[in-house]
Amino acid sequence: MTGLLTVVGLGPGDPRYLTPAASEALASATDLVGYGPYVDRVPERPGQRRYASDNRVELDRACFALDLAAKGARVAVVSGGDPGVFAMAAAVFEAVDKGDPAWRSLDIRVEPGITAMLAAAARVGAPLGGDFCAMSLSDNLKPWEVVEARLRAALGADFVVALYNPISSARPWQLGAAFKIVAETREPDTPIILARAVMRQDERIRIVLLSEVEASMADMSTIVIIGASTTRLIERSGGETPYVYTPRFYGVRP
Amino acid sequence: MTGLLTVVGLGPGDPRYLTPAASEALASATDLVGYGPYVDRVPERPGQRRYASDNRVELDRACFALDLAAKGARVAVVSGGDPGVFAMAAAVFEAVDKGDPAWRSLDIRVEPGITAMLAAAARVGAPLGGDFCAMSLSDNLKPWEVVEARLRAALGADFVVALYNPISSARPWQLGAAFKIVAETREPDTPIILARAVMRQDERIRIVLLSEVEASMADMSTIVIIGASTTRLIERSGGETPYVYTPRFYGVRP
């Protein structure tokens, strides 16, 4: 087979954070496939076909894209952030694994991107400066018991924790439940970062303490970063937002 | 103070993976500060001062850069990968936190980059497709007991684990010890990715099974990704390298 499928990471949204390699993959594609708002971010190019779908059909979208590639197209599957982190790349490989055996001989590439936790961290300082975990709080694809066990394990070992997919209208209670679990092991003054639509027009970033945080401060465009016991705020003068960082050292003198 | 300090993520090395925002920060800097090989990656520009140092003096380098910025310079501190992930950003904020109080009023920014685990993952498929942890295996800045406890916690909760700084001449035994711990909880056929110098001229990527892995397969330029129990290989025909991915779902039917 001669087709090519590239899963392309668009990064947080601002084209200044799109890698040149990702731009090239988008420009050379004959066909773009993806969730509507992501497809809309890509400049139109004459002759390039565009297939926008809604957000809940990742596997169908992956199969559709693989089928186009199998017919000889150069397909770009567009994904927010990094495609390998709670985004389209895993769906594409799930489809290859379970689907038409001929898809295994396709050339399938992934173009990495700036994932939300890196963009959010960069905006506030260096909260991911120590060891950290990234987990999806969604229980659509795994039982809540697994989410809870992973969160407890990460907190118990004092990792910083980045929560993707923290809340949605269909999953209204999970983030509140997660904050309660966090409060069992972390101090009330633990910094929590709620970063919404990072590096987009409607960006909103809050740094609050665990004692103040509420699930209503997040929506489905938010990433939540929970500090470790060592994560610190650096207060600044003149009402400037504090910096947040996690030191590289732990349990030893710097 | 009018100075500016930007910690700039160079990504894995290939300029095709440097964001336009990072390129701009480098081009507009009056002074570049960083570990020699990273400074060498940045194109020379007339009038721009360059300060290259060795790899073991992050905090001194951060203080030097902050001092330049305090004198009014536009300083770029260059960092491999993403500066917020086991790189220079935390060192800069540690220096601000402990150092001259005047540094708190500086404008300090972070330009995110493609960190090694994202680049490595993109090269092989989607091994980070589920929940994952990123940890430094170095016991220079934390006791080995903390490293071991975090590794056991991550393995126990079935996270994929990305190991930064897996081995060096000064830390020869830690990776072997880590693989022994992995073998206590993961099956012998668990995929392990050893990705060296990803997206550079001397890139070398291996996918091996846990039963075959040896610490000697890694060096200080390698990132190691340990699959979860659900991480799968997709075998391909004609001697092509298999794809590796971790499904998004866990403990439920896809």
pLDDT digits (tens, 9 = 90+) for A224-236: 999 999 999 999 9
Residues of A in contact with B19 (CB under 8 A): 11, 16-19, 114
Check whether residue B52 and residue B149 sit in a common domain.
Answer: no
Domain membership flag for residue A100: yes
Paired tokens of B198? 């990803």
Question: Which residue does chain B place closest to A233, by CA atoms?
Answer: B97
Per-residue pLDDT of chain B (254 residues; tens, 9 = 90+): 578 999 999 999 999 999 999 999 999 999 999 999 999 999 999 999 999 987 668 899 999 999 999 999 999 999 999 999 999 999 999 999 999 999 999 999 999 999 999 999 999 999 999 999 999 999 999 999 999 999 999 999 999 999 999 999 999 999 999 999 999 999 999 999 999 999 999 999 999 999 999 999 999 999 999 999 999 999 998 788 999 999 999 986 55
The domain tally of chain A equals 2
B25 located within any domain: yes
Within-domain flag for B195: yes
How many DSSP H helices and E strands does chain B contain? 7, 13
Structure confidence at residue A1 as a pLDDT band (50, 70, 90): low
Orientation angle between helical segments B174-185 and B144-156, nearest 10 degrees: 30
Among residues A93, A114, A135, which one ends one of the domains? A114
A226 touches chain B (CB under 8 A): no
Give the end of a domain, one of B54, B81, B114.
B114
Same domain? A126 vs A110: no
Supply A244's token pair: 């947040």
First to last CA, chain B: 56
The answer to whether residues B110 and A122 touch, using CB atoms and an 8 Å cutoff, is yes
Whether residues B9 and B110 fall in one domain? yes
Residue B230 and residue A64: Cα distance in Å, rounded?
25
Helix B88-98 crosses helix B58-70 at what angle (to 10 degrees)? 60
Confirm whether A254 is domain-assigned. no
Question: Chain B partners of A114 at a C-beta cutoff of 8 Å?
Answer: 19, 82, 112-114
Q: A123 and A241: one domain? A: yes
How many Å apart are CA A196 and CA A119, to the nearest integer?
Answer: 11
- A236 and A137 within one domain: yes
Alpha-carbon distances, residue B243 vs A1, A5, A39, B83, B197 (angstroms): 17, 14, 26, 28, 19
Residue A36: both structure tokens together? 């509507």
Residue A116 has a pLDDT of 98
Structure tokens at B94: 């540690």
User: What is the DSSP code (8-state) at residue A105?
Assistant: G
Q: How far apart are CA A87 and CA A137, in angstroms?
A: 14
Question: Quick one: B13 and B107 in the same domain?
Answer: yes
Whether A250 maps to a domain, the answer reads: no
A59 and A133: one domain?
no
Residue at a domain's end among A114, A135, A153: A114
**Are A227 and A122 within one domain?**
yes
Q: Which of B245, B252, B253 would best serve as a mutation to test chain A binding (most A beta carbons within 10 A)?
A: B245
What whole-number distance in Å separates Cα of residue A215 and Cα of residue A209? 13
Pair A104, A122 in one domain:
no
> Is A253 inside any structural domain?
no
Binned at pLDDT 50, 70 and 90, residue A238 comes out as confident
Tell me chain B's radius of gyration from C-alpha atoms: 20
| Residues 37-56 of chain A whose Cβ lies under 8 A from any Cβ of chain B | none
Q: How many percent of chain A have pLDDT more than 90?
A: 93
Q: Pick the closest to residue B226 from B88, B132, B141 (CA basis).
A: B132
Q: Residue B148: which CATH number?
A: 3.30.950.10
Tell me which residue range forms the domain holding A169.
117-245
Do B85 and B151 belong together in one domain? no
Do A62 and A122 have their domain in common? no
Cα gap B204→B214, rounded to integer Å: 15
* pLDDT value at residue B96: 97
Question: Does A129 fall in a domain?
Answer: yes
Number of H helices and E strands in chain A, helices first, is 7, 13
CATH code, domain carrying B32:
3.40.1010.10
Question: Is there a contact between A10 and A78 (Cβ–Cβ < 8 Å)?
Answer: yes
Instruction: Say how many CA atoms lie within 13 Å of A83 toward its Cβ.
Output: 38
Give me the count of residues in chain B: 254
Question: Is some CB atom of chain B closer than 8 A to the CB atom of A83?
Answer: yes
Residue A241 shares a structural domain with residue A126: yes
Tokens matching residue B108: 């300090």
Model confidence at A39, pLDDT cuts 50, 70, 90, reads very high
- The shortest C-alpha distance from A115 to chain B (Å) reads 8
CA pair distance B73, B67, nearest whole angstrom: 9
